[in-house]
Structure 1
Amino acid sequence: MNANTNETQTQAYGIGQLIGAAAERAVPVVTGIDDKVLAEPTPCGDYDVKSLVNHLFHVVVEFQKLAVKQDSDFTATPDRVGQGPDWRERFADQADALTAAWSAPGAENGTTGAMNMPARLVGSMALLDLTVHAWDLARATGQAFEPAPQALAPLADAVAELAPTARSMGMFGAPVDVGPDASPFDRLLAATGRRP
Protein backbone atom coordinates (compact mmCIF):
# COMPACT_ATOMS: atom_id res chain seq x y z
CA MET A 1 0.00 0.00 0.00
CA ASN A 2 1.50 3.35 -0.97
CA ALA A 3 1.46 6.46 1.22
CA ASN A 4 -1.28 8.15 -0.79
CA THR A 5 -3.58 5.15 -0.45
CA ASN A 6 -2.96 4.99 3.29
CA GLU A 7 -3.63 8.72 3.67
CA THR A 8 -6.87 8.37 1.71
CA GLN A 9 -7.98 5.54 4.02
CA THR A 10 -7.03 7.56 7.08
CA GLN A 11 -9.08 10.58 5.99
CA ALA A 12 -12.05 8.57 4.65
CA TYR A 13 -13.94 8.85 7.95
CA GLY A 14 -14.56 11.77 10.24
CA ILE A 15 -13.05 11.36 13.68
CA GLY A 16 -16.55 11.41 15.18
CA GLN A 17 -17.55 8.46 12.99
CA LEU A 18 -14.46 6.54 14.08
CA ILE A 19 -15.01 7.30 17.76
CA GLY A 20 -18.62 6.19 17.39
CA ALA A 21 -17.55 2.91 15.81
CA ALA A 22 -14.95 2.35 18.55
CA ALA A 23 -17.48 3.18 21.26
CA GLU A 24 -19.87 0.58 19.84
CA ARG A 25 -17.14 -2.01 20.46
CA ALA A 26 -15.87 -0.64 23.78
CA VAL A 27 -19.15 -0.03 25.61
CA PRO A 28 -20.24 -3.72 25.63
CA VAL A 29 -16.85 -4.66 27.12
CA VAL A 30 -17.12 -2.06 29.89
CA THR A 31 -20.77 -2.80 30.64
CA GLY A 32 -19.97 -6.53 30.64
CA ILE A 33 -17.54 -6.21 33.55
CA ASP A 34 -18.69 -7.90 36.73
CA ASP A 35 -17.98 -6.14 40.01
CA LYS A 36 -16.25 -9.32 41.20
CA VAL A 37 -13.31 -8.76 38.80
CA LEU A 38 -12.69 -5.06 39.49
CA ALA A 39 -9.50 -5.85 41.43
CA GLU A 40 -8.03 -8.10 38.71
CA PRO A 41 -4.82 -7.00 36.92
CA THR A 42 -4.88 -5.77 33.31
CA PRO A 43 -2.29 -5.79 30.49
CA CYS A 44 -1.93 -2.07 31.22
CA GLY A 45 0.51 -2.60 34.07
CA ASP A 46 -0.27 0.42 36.26
CA TYR A 47 -4.00 -0.36 36.41
CA ASP A 48 -6.31 -2.98 37.82
CA VAL A 49 -9.72 -3.35 36.15
CA LYS A 50 -11.43 -0.72 38.30
CA SER A 51 -8.72 1.90 37.90
CA LEU A 52 -8.54 1.30 34.15
CA VAL A 53 -12.32 1.72 33.83
CA ASN A 54 -12.02 4.94 35.82
CA HIS A 55 -9.18 6.11 33.55
CA LEU A 56 -11.13 5.33 30.38
CA PHE A 57 -14.25 6.95 31.85
CA HIS A 58 -12.19 10.08 32.59
CA VAL A 59 -10.82 10.13 29.03
CA VAL A 60 -14.33 9.85 27.61
CA VAL A 61 -15.53 12.79 29.72
CA GLU A 62 -12.53 15.10 29.35
CA PHE A 63 -12.12 14.62 25.60
CA GLN A 64 -15.62 16.00 25.13
CA LYS A 65 -14.19 19.35 26.30
CA LEU A 66 -11.32 19.09 23.84
CA ALA A 67 -13.78 18.63 20.97
CA VAL A 68 -15.21 22.08 21.70
CA LYS A 69 -11.73 23.59 22.28
CA GLN A 70 -12.12 23.87 26.05
CA ASP A 71 -9.44 22.99 28.59
CA SER A 72 -9.39 19.44 29.90
CA ASP A 73 -8.22 18.38 33.35
CA PHE A 74 -6.21 15.20 33.80
CA THR A 75 -4.62 16.14 37.13
CA ALA A 76 -6.76 13.60 39.03
CA THR A 77 -8.97 10.68 38.01
CA PRO A 78 -12.35 10.59 39.78
CA ASP A 79 -13.58 7.23 41.10
CA ARG A 80 -16.67 7.10 38.91
CA VAL A 81 -17.03 3.35 39.43
CA GLY A 82 -17.24 4.00 43.16
CA GLN A 83 -19.93 6.66 42.74
CA GLY A 84 -22.72 4.13 42.39
CA PRO A 85 -23.85 0.86 40.82
CA ASP A 86 -25.07 2.60 37.65
CA TRP A 87 -21.49 3.31 36.49
CA ARG A 88 -21.93 1.12 33.40
CA GLU A 89 -24.95 3.10 32.21
CA ARG A 90 -23.16 6.38 32.94
CA PHE A 91 -20.15 5.23 30.94
CA ALA A 92 -22.37 4.33 27.98
CA ASP A 93 -24.06 7.74 28.15
CA GLN A 94 -20.73 9.55 28.22
CA ALA A 95 -19.41 7.49 25.30
CA ASP A 96 -22.46 8.63 23.31
CA ALA A 97 -21.74 12.22 24.35
CA LEU A 98 -18.10 11.85 23.26
CA THR A 99 -19.21 10.63 19.85
CA ALA A 100 -21.63 13.53 19.51
CA ALA A 101 -18.98 16.06 20.55
CA TRP A 102 -16.44 14.89 17.99
CA SER A 103 -19.13 14.53 15.29
CA ALA A 104 -20.15 18.20 15.59
CA PRO A 105 -19.16 20.52 12.71
CA GLY A 106 -15.69 21.95 13.26
CA ALA A 107 -14.66 19.54 16.01
CA GLU A 108 -11.67 18.18 14.11
CA ASN A 109 -10.62 21.53 12.66
CA GLY A 110 -7.90 23.74 14.08
CA THR A 111 -6.01 22.93 17.26
CA THR A 112 -7.03 21.98 20.78
CA GLY A 113 -5.58 21.01 24.13
CA ALA A 114 -2.81 22.46 26.28
CA MET A 115 -0.18 21.66 23.63
CA ASN A 116 -2.24 23.14 20.77
CA MET A 117 -2.12 19.91 18.79
CA PRO A 118 -4.15 19.34 15.62
CA ALA A 119 -7.71 18.61 16.73
CA ARG A 120 -8.01 15.48 14.61
CA LEU A 121 -4.89 14.04 16.23
CA VAL A 122 -6.30 14.84 19.68
CA GLY A 123 -9.52 13.08 18.72
CA SER A 124 -7.40 10.14 17.62
CA MET A 125 -6.06 9.89 21.18
CA ALA A 126 -9.60 9.29 22.44
CA LEU A 127 -10.09 6.80 19.63
CA LEU A 128 -6.89 5.01 20.64
CA ASP A 129 -7.89 4.78 24.30
CA LEU A 130 -11.36 3.47 23.42
CA THR A 131 -9.77 0.81 21.23
CA VAL A 132 -6.67 -0.27 23.14
CA HIS A 133 -8.08 0.02 26.66
CA ALA A 134 -11.20 -1.88 25.57
CA TRP A 135 -8.82 -4.67 24.50
CA ASP A 136 -7.00 -4.39 27.86
CA LEU A 137 -10.29 -4.71 29.74
CA ALA A 138 -11.56 -7.54 27.55
CA ARG A 139 -8.33 -9.45 28.05
CA ALA A 140 -8.43 -8.87 31.82
CA THR A 141 -12.05 -9.97 32.18
CA GLY A 142 -12.22 -12.88 29.73
CA GLN A 143 -14.32 -11.12 27.10
CA ALA A 144 -14.03 -11.14 23.33
CA PHE A 145 -13.04 -7.93 21.57
CA GLU A 146 -12.72 -6.98 17.93
CA PRO A 147 -11.71 -3.42 17.03
CA ALA A 148 -13.60 -1.27 14.54
CA PRO A 149 -11.77 -2.19 11.31
CA GLN A 150 -12.12 1.28 9.78
CA ALA A 151 -10.20 2.73 12.75
CA LEU A 152 -7.04 0.68 12.30
CA ALA A 153 -5.32 2.67 9.53
CA PRO A 154 -6.02 6.05 11.19
CA LEU A 155 -4.82 4.67 14.52
CA ALA A 156 -1.62 3.29 13.00
CA ASP A 157 -0.85 6.76 11.63
CA ALA A 158 -1.70 8.43 14.96
CA VAL A 159 0.44 6.00 16.96
CA ALA A 160 3.39 6.54 14.60
CA GLU A 161 3.08 10.30 15.19
CA LEU A 162 2.46 10.11 18.94
CA ALA A 163 4.84 7.28 19.88
CA PRO A 164 8.10 9.20 20.53
CA THR A 165 6.42 11.62 22.95
CA ALA A 166 4.16 8.94 24.45
CA ARG A 167 7.15 6.68 25.17
CA SER A 168 9.15 9.50 26.72
CA MET A 169 6.19 10.24 29.03
CA GLY A 170 5.70 6.57 29.93
CA MET A 171 2.31 6.36 28.20
CA PHE A 172 3.53 3.72 25.71
CA GLY A 173 5.90 0.90 26.50
CA ALA A 174 8.76 -0.09 24.25
CA PRO A 175 7.47 -1.59 20.99
CA VAL A 176 7.08 -5.36 20.97
CA ASP A 177 8.27 -7.48 18.06
CA VAL A 178 5.52 -9.34 16.22
CA GLY A 179 5.80 -11.69 13.30
CA PRO A 180 5.35 -10.70 9.65
CA ASP A 181 1.92 -12.35 9.63
CA ALA A 182 0.62 -10.24 12.55
CA SER A 183 -2.74 -8.57 11.98
CA PRO A 184 -2.98 -4.77 11.75
CA PHE A 185 -4.52 -4.72 15.23
CA ASP A 186 -1.75 -6.88 16.69
CA ARG A 187 0.80 -4.53 15.14
CA LEU A 188 -1.04 -1.57 16.68
CA LEU A 189 -1.05 -3.20 20.13
CA ALA A 190 2.63 -4.05 19.80
CA ALA A 191 3.47 -0.45 18.86
CA THR A 192 2.00 0.68 22.19
CA GLY A 193 4.11 -1.85 24.10
CA ARG A 194 1.49 -4.56 24.50
CA ARG A 195 1.95 -8.26 23.77
CA PRO A 196 -0.98 -9.27 21.54
Structure 2
Amino acid sequence: METNAMRTRGIGELLGLARERAVPVVRGIEDAALAAATPCAEYDVRALVNHLFQVVVQFQRLAVKQDSDFGATADVVAEGPDWRERLVRETDRLVAAWSAPGAEEGTTGAMDMPARLVGSMALLDLTVHAWDLARATGQVFPGADDAVVAELAGAVAELAPTARRMGMFGAPVPVPDGASAFERLLAQTGRAPGGEPGGGE
Protein backbone atom coordinates (compact mmCIF):
# COMPACT_ATOMS: atom_id res chain seq x y z
CA MET A 1 0.00 0.00 0.00
CA GLU A 2 1.40 3.42 -0.99
CA THR A 3 1.98 5.93 1.78
CA ASN A 4 2.54 9.69 1.61
CA ALA A 5 6.21 9.11 2.47
CA MET A 6 6.60 6.72 -0.48
CA ARG A 7 4.72 8.78 -3.07
CA THR A 8 6.65 11.02 -5.42
CA ARG A 9 4.90 14.36 -5.19
CA GLY A 10 4.36 16.51 -8.23
CA ILE A 11 6.09 19.86 -8.55
CA GLY A 12 2.73 21.60 -8.47
CA GLU A 13 1.90 20.01 -5.13
CA LEU A 14 5.32 20.90 -3.74
CA LEU A 15 4.97 24.47 -4.95
CA GLY A 16 1.64 24.59 -3.13
CA LEU A 17 3.39 23.60 0.08
CA ALA A 18 6.08 26.24 -0.49
CA ARG A 19 3.40 28.83 -1.24
CA GLU A 20 1.85 28.30 2.18
CA ARG A 21 5.17 29.23 3.81
CA ALA A 22 5.97 32.11 1.46
CA VAL A 23 2.67 34.02 1.38
CA PRO A 24 2.66 35.10 5.06
CA VAL A 25 6.22 36.39 4.60
CA VAL A 26 5.28 38.45 1.54
CA ARG A 27 2.26 39.89 3.31
CA GLY A 28 4.39 40.67 6.34
CA ILE A 29 6.89 42.89 4.52
CA GLU A 30 6.46 46.47 5.68
CA ASP A 31 7.24 49.38 3.38
CA ALA A 32 9.84 50.60 5.86
CA ALA A 33 11.83 47.40 5.29
CA LEU A 34 12.10 47.66 1.51
CA ALA A 35 15.60 49.14 1.64
CA ALA A 36 16.93 46.54 4.09
CA ALA A 37 19.80 44.24 3.11
CA THR A 38 19.06 40.58 2.39
CA PRO A 39 21.18 37.40 2.42
CA CYS A 40 21.43 37.88 -1.36
CA ALA A 41 24.33 40.29 -1.70
CA GLU A 42 23.02 41.89 -4.90
CA TYR A 43 19.51 42.59 -3.63
CA ASP A 44 17.86 44.69 -0.99
CA VAL A 45 14.32 43.68 -0.02
CA ARG A 46 12.70 45.71 -2.78
CA ALA A 47 14.97 44.27 -5.47
CA LEU A 48 14.49 40.74 -4.16
CA VAL A 49 10.70 41.13 -4.22
CA ASN A 50 10.96 42.29 -7.83
CA HIS A 51 13.26 39.38 -8.68
CA LEU A 52 10.90 36.88 -7.06
CA PHE A 53 7.96 38.35 -8.96
CA GLN A 54 9.87 37.90 -12.22
CA VAL A 55 10.74 34.31 -11.31
CA VAL A 56 7.16 33.44 -10.40
CA VAL A 57 5.80 34.87 -13.67
CA GLN A 58 8.47 33.47 -16.00
CA PHE A 59 8.32 29.97 -14.55
CA GLN A 60 4.60 29.93 -15.34
CA ARG A 61 5.63 30.26 -18.98
CA LEU A 62 8.19 27.49 -18.65
CA ALA A 63 5.52 25.17 -17.26
CA VAL A 64 3.63 25.42 -20.56
CA LYS A 65 6.82 25.15 -22.64
CA GLN A 66 6.85 28.81 -23.69
CA ASP A 67 9.93 31.00 -23.99
CA SER A 68 10.86 32.90 -20.85
CA ASP A 69 12.47 36.30 -20.44
CA PHE A 70 14.80 36.88 -17.50
CA GLY A 71 16.18 40.13 -18.88
CA ALA A 72 15.22 43.46 -17.36
CA THR A 73 13.37 43.17 -14.04
CA ALA A 74 10.34 45.41 -13.61
CA ASP A 75 9.92 47.40 -10.41
CA VAL A 76 6.63 45.85 -9.35
CA VAL A 77 6.78 47.55 -5.96
CA ALA A 78 6.63 50.94 -7.69
CA GLU A 79 3.48 50.00 -9.62
CA GLY A 80 1.15 50.32 -6.67
CA PRO A 81 0.48 49.44 -3.02
CA ASP A 82 -1.16 46.12 -3.90
CA TRP A 83 2.14 44.55 -4.95
CA ARG A 84 1.95 41.99 -2.13
CA GLU A 85 -1.38 40.61 -3.32
CA ARG A 86 -0.21 40.73 -6.93
CA LEU A 87 2.72 38.53 -5.97
CA VAL A 88 0.40 36.19 -4.07
CA ARG A 89 -1.90 35.89 -7.10
CA GLU A 90 1.01 35.17 -9.43
CA THR A 91 2.25 32.53 -7.00
CA ASP A 92 -1.19 30.90 -7.16
CA ARG A 93 -0.88 30.89 -10.95
CA LEU A 94 2.58 29.33 -10.68
CA VAL A 95 1.19 26.48 -8.58
CA ALA A 96 -1.67 25.97 -11.06
CA ALA A 97 0.67 26.00 -14.06
CA TRP A 98 2.94 23.31 -12.64
CA SER A 99 -0.05 21.26 -11.44
CA ALA A 100 -1.46 20.98 -14.96
CA PRO A 101 -1.14 17.66 -16.82
CA GLY A 102 2.05 17.48 -18.84
CA ALA A 103 3.88 20.27 -17.03
CA GLU A 104 6.62 17.93 -15.82
CA GLU A 105 6.94 16.02 -19.08
CA GLY A 106 9.66 16.54 -21.67
CA THR A 107 12.01 19.50 -21.60
CA THR A 108 11.55 23.23 -21.30
CA GLY A 109 13.55 26.45 -21.36
CA ALA A 110 16.29 27.73 -23.63
CA MET A 111 18.65 24.97 -22.47
CA ASP A 112 16.06 22.19 -22.99
CA MET A 113 16.40 21.03 -19.41
CA PRO A 114 14.15 18.29 -17.99
CA ALA A 115 10.87 19.97 -17.10
CA ARG A 116 10.76 18.56 -13.58
CA LEU A 117 14.22 19.97 -12.84
CA VAL A 118 13.10 23.36 -14.15
CA GLY A 119 10.07 23.15 -11.89
CA SER A 120 12.39 22.36 -9.00
CA MET A 121 14.28 25.57 -9.78
CA ALA A 122 11.05 27.52 -9.30
CA LEU A 123 10.47 25.62 -6.07
CA LEU A 124 13.98 26.47 -4.89
CA ASP A 125 13.58 30.19 -5.58
CA LEU A 126 10.19 30.38 -3.89
CA THR A 127 11.43 28.51 -0.83
CA VAL A 128 14.84 30.08 -0.38
CA HIS A 129 13.83 33.63 -1.25
CA ALA A 130 10.93 33.42 1.19
CA TRP A 131 13.53 32.58 3.84
CA ASP A 132 15.73 35.46 2.61
CA LEU A 133 12.86 37.91 2.87
CA ALA A 134 11.80 36.67 6.28
CA ARG A 135 15.31 37.05 7.62
CA ALA A 136 15.76 40.48 6.07
CA THR A 137 12.51 41.81 7.50
CA GLY A 138 12.69 40.33 10.99
CA GLN A 139 10.06 37.65 10.43
CA VAL A 140 10.19 34.07 11.66
CA PHE A 141 10.33 31.55 8.82
CA PRO A 142 8.86 28.20 9.88
CA GLY A 143 11.14 26.16 7.65
CA ALA A 144 10.23 24.15 4.59
CA ASP A 145 8.07 21.06 4.35
CA ASP A 146 10.09 17.82 4.48
CA ALA A 147 8.92 16.81 1.01
CA VAL A 148 10.04 20.16 -0.40
CA VAL A 149 13.47 19.85 1.22
CA ALA A 150 13.86 16.31 -0.12
CA GLU A 151 13.06 17.43 -3.67
CA LEU A 152 15.36 20.42 -3.44
CA ALA A 153 18.29 18.48 -2.01
CA GLY A 154 18.51 16.49 -5.21
CA ALA A 155 18.00 19.53 -7.42
CA VAL A 156 20.64 21.58 -5.61
CA ALA A 157 23.16 18.75 -5.85
CA GLU A 158 22.59 18.65 -9.62
CA LEU A 159 22.52 22.39 -10.17
CA ALA A 160 25.20 23.55 -7.73
CA PRO A 161 28.37 23.32 -9.87
CA THR A 162 26.87 25.45 -12.66
CA ALA A 163 25.03 27.75 -10.23
CA ARG A 164 28.25 28.51 -8.37
CA ARG A 165 30.14 29.26 -11.58
CA MET A 166 27.36 31.68 -12.56
CA GLY A 167 27.29 33.33 -9.13
CA MET A 168 23.76 32.14 -8.38
CA PHE A 169 24.94 30.15 -5.35
CA GLY A 170 27.64 31.22 -2.93
CA ALA A 171 30.28 28.81 -1.65
CA PRO A 172 28.87 26.14 0.70
CA VAL A 173 28.70 27.27 4.32
CA PRO A 174 29.67 24.92 7.19
CA VAL A 175 26.79 23.93 9.45
CA PRO A 176 26.98 22.57 13.01
CA ASP A 177 26.14 19.03 14.01
CA GLY A 178 22.43 18.73 14.51
CA ALA A 179 21.53 21.21 11.77
CA SER A 180 18.18 20.51 10.17
CA ALA A 181 17.86 19.27 6.59
CA PHE A 182 16.54 22.70 5.60
CA GLU A 183 19.51 24.45 7.23
CA ARG A 184 21.84 22.13 5.34
CA LEU A 185 20.03 22.95 2.12
CA LEU A 186 20.40 26.69 2.75
CA ALA A 187 24.10 26.18 3.47
CA GLN A 188 24.58 24.45 0.11
CA THR A 189 23.29 27.59 -1.62
CA GLY A 190 25.79 29.76 0.27
CA ARG A 191 23.48 30.93 3.05
CA ALA A 192 24.43 30.81 6.73
CA PRO A 193 21.22 29.95 8.63
CA GLY A 194 22.65 30.84 12.03
CA GLY A 195 25.23 33.49 11.19
CA GLU A 196 26.08 36.10 8.62
CA PRO A 197 24.67 35.90 5.10
CA GLY A 198 26.83 33.83 2.80
CA GLY A 199 25.95 35.40 -0.54
CA GLY A 200 24.52 34.09 -3.76
CA GLU A 201 21.22 34.99 -5.37
Coarse TM-score class (shorter-chain normalised): over 0.9
Cα distance in 2 for partners of 1:104, 1:176 equals 36
Q: 1:162 aligns with which of 159, 163, 179?
A: 159
Equivalents in 1 of 2:106, 2:17: separation in Å? 23
Q: Show the counterpart of 1:148.
A: 145
Provide the rounded CA distance (Å) in 1 between the counterparts of 2:111 and 2:158. Answer: 15
Q: How many residues align?
A: 189
Q: What 5-or-longer segments of structure 1 have no aligned partner?
A: 1-7
Identity fraction in percent:
70
* Aligned counterpart for 1:32 among listed residues 2, 24, 28: 28
**TM-score of the two chains, using structure 2 as the length reference:** 0.91
CA contact (8 A) 1:10 1:153 kept: no
Q: TM-score, normalised by structure 1?
A: 0.94
**1:175 alignment partner in structure 2:** 172
Letter in 1 for 2:14: L
Offset, 1:149 = 2.4
Alpha-carbon distance change, 11 to 154 in structure 1, aligned in 2, over 3 angstroms: farther
Shift of 1:148: 2.2
Q: Which amino acid aligns with 2:141?
A: F
After superposition, the C-alpha distances for 1:78-130 in whole angstroms (9 at most, x for unaligned) are 11111100101101100000000000000011000000000000000010011
- Aligned-pair CA distance for 1:179: 2.0
- Per the alignment, residue 186 of structure 2 pairs with 189
Query: Does residue 17 of structure 2 align to residue 21 of structure 1?
Result: yes
Q: Letter of the aligned partner of 2:149 in structure 1?
A: L
Matched, 1:61 2:57: yes
Amino acid at match of 1:157: G
- In the alignment, the residues of structure 2 paired with residue 171 and residue 164 of structure 1 have an alpha-carbon distance, to the nearest angstrom, of 10
Q: Which runs of structure 1 show a deviation greater than 3 angstroms over 4 or more consecutive aligned residues?
A: 8-11
SS of corresponding position for 1:124: helix
**Tell me, which stretches of 5 or more residues in structure 2 are unaligned?**
194-201
How many Å separate the matches in 2 of 1:26 and 1:169?
A: 26
The alpha carbon displacement at 1:28 in A equals 1.0
Supply the AA of the counterpart residue of 1:178: V
**What is the root-mean-square deviation of aligned Cα atoms in Å?**
1.3
